[in-house]
């Protein structure tokens, strides 16, 4: 079946780096606690969601040998839009000169995988060149006096160019899920700050990643043993390790970037994916499993054969 393949990728992170030591100057916390409980060492803070998305998008377009005028659809995953109206994708469309339509997807930290699956579907109904971006500035909705959230978050963006192909596409299987009964576990009201019930999210997150990954793999006719690289949402190193262990995926087959970026919500999976691509951990034919979870709660997994 024809589909779509990734032909370009790029990231953007703000210049400013905030270390655990920096945070422990103003919060009752320590580098030792944050490192042991989360795996985070530092995070990048600053910029705007549209600005980071444009920069990541420029890198992805350049890598694909394209410009914005070649793109017939822009899908932007974000849970920290620049404004309520217009969609941040409109600003990114203008900034990159995207020729076609543009819309935002908000599925919290699952947003990038949701957006990627939607983009593959759009390729099946005629879209030719699609830019998929995950971009976040969680720092803007964080109460920097609240240690339960401030130690976790970071800002950044990651983007991929998806091009329709006559041959087989990359997407072998996917699974999207949501349970709005759990919506109070992670939330931010208009004008407010991010709140999360860390313990409860932790419990649901491990289960969600495992179940969703197994469903996506089953739909692809594969098992965890077939996965060459697992690219999970980066919310807590302990969640990643617990899920990988229970899936039987050894350490050399999964990506951890949370030490450098913290939790960047819908940017975390593309940041980790691009890190794996830049370090040659993904090759043509590699089976790549993306899986994320987040506020809503939502969860999402996609199984790709790299290069189709």
Catalytic site residue from 44, 120, 175, 233? 233
- Interface of this chain with ligand COA, residues 278 to 307, rule: CB under 6 A: 294
Cβ nearer to ligand COA, comparing 91 with 301: 301
**Position 109 contacts ligand COA (CB under 6 A):** yes
Span from 67-75, 127-135, 145-153, 212-220 in contact with ligand COA (CB under 6 A): 145-153
Q: Which is the catalytic residue, given 109, 120, 188, 236? A: 109
Does residue 187 interact with ligand COA by CB under 6 A?
Answer: no
Task: Please state, in angstroms and rounded to a whole number, the distance separating the CA atoms of residues 89 and 176.
Answer: 22
Q: Are 50 and 12 in contact (CB under 8 A)?
A: no
Minimal distance, residue 241 CB to ligand COA, in Å = 12
Closer residue to ligand COA, CB minimum distance, 29 or 165 = 29
Instruction: Please identify, among the stretches 65-73, 81-89, 144-152, 279-287, the one whose residues bind ligand COA according to the rule CB under 6 A.
Output: 144-152
Candidates 46, 182, 202, 241: give the one binding ligand COA (CB under 6 A).
202
Q: At closest approach, how far in Å is the CB of 19 from ligand COA?
A: 14
Taking each helix axis from N to C terminus, what angle separates 237-247 and 198-219, rounded to the nearest 10 degrees? 40
Write down the least CB distance from residue 246 to ligand COA, Å: 16
Q: Considering beta carbons, is residue 287 or 300 the nearer one to ligand COA? A: 300
Residue of 77, 130, 205, 206 that binds ligand COA (CB under 6 A): 205
Q: Which is nearer to ligand COA, 151 or 220 (CB)?
A: 151
Residue nearest to ligand COA (CB): 198
Residue (87 or 295) nearer to ligand COA, CB: 295
Residues 255-274 that bind ligand COA (CB under 6 A): 263
Q: Which of 45, 61, 159, 196 binds ligand COA (CB under 6 A)?
A: 196
- Cβ–Cβ under 8 Å, residues 231 and 272: yes
109 is a catalytic site residue: yes
- Compute the least distance from the CB of residue 28 to ligand COA, in Å: 6
Residue 234 makes contact with ligand COA by CB under 6 A: no
Instruction: Assess 199 for contact with ligand COA (CB under 6 A).
Output: yes
- The DSSP annotation for the chain comes to -EEEEEEEEEEE--S-EEEHHHHHTTSS--HHHHHHHH---EEE--S-HHHHHHHHHHHHHHHHT--GGG-SEEEEE-SS-S-SSS-HHHHHHHHHT--SEEEEE-BTBTHHHHHHHHHHHHHHTT--EEEEEEEEEGGGG--TT-HHHHTTB-EEEEEEEEEEEEEE-SEEEEEEEE-GGGGGGEE--TT---EE-HHHHHHHHHHHHHHHHHHHHHHTT--GGG-SEEEE--S-HHHHHHHHHHHT--GGGB---HHHH-B-GGGHHHHHHHHHHHTT---TT-EEEEEEEETTTEEEEEEEETT-
Q: Are 117 and 123 in contact (CB under 8 A)?
A: no
Tell me which residues are annotated as active site: 109, 233, 263
Site residues (CB under 6 A) for ligand COA? Answer: 29, 33, 37-38, 109, 147-148, 151, 186, 196, 198-199, 201-202, 205, 235-236, 263, 294
């Amino acid at each position: 079946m024809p589909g779509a393949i990734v032909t370009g990728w790029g990231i953007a992170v703000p210049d400013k780096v905030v270390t655990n030591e920096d945070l422990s100057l103003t919060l009752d916390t320590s580098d030792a606690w944050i490192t042991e409980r989360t795996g985070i060492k530092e995070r990048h803070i600053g910029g705007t969601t549209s600005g980071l998305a444009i920069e990541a998008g420029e890198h992805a377009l350049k890598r694909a040998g394209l410009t914005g005028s070649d793109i017939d659809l822009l899908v932007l995953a974000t849970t920290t839009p620049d404004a309520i109206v217009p969609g941040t994708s409109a600003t990114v469309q203008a900034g990159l000169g995207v020729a076609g339509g543009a819309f935002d997807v908000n599925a919290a930290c699952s947003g990038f995988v949701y957006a990627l699956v939607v983009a593959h579907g759009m390729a099946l109904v005629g879209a030719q060149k699609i830019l998929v971006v995950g971009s976040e500035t969680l720092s803007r909705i964080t109460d920097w006096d609240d240690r339960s959230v401030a130690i976790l978050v970071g800002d950044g963006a990651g983007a991929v160019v998806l091009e329709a192909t006559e041959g087989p596409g990359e997407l072998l299987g996917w699974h999207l899920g949501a349970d709005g009964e759990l919506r109070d576990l992670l939330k931010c009201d208009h004008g407010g700050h991010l709140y999360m019930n860390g313990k409860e999210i932790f419990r649901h997150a491990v289960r969600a990643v495992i179940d969703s990954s197994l469903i996506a793999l089953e739909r692809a006719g594969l098992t965890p043993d077939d996965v060459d690289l697992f690219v999970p949402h980066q919310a807590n190193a302990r969640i990643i390790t617990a899920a990988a262990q229970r899936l039987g995926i050894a350490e050399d087959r999964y990506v951890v970037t949370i030490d450098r970026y913290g939790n960047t919500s819908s940017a975390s999976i593309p940041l980790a994916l691009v890190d794996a691509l830049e370090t040659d951990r993904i090759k043509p034919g590699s089976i790549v499993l993306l899986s994320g979870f987040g506020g809503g709660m939502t969860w999402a997994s996609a199984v790709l054969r790299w290069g189709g």
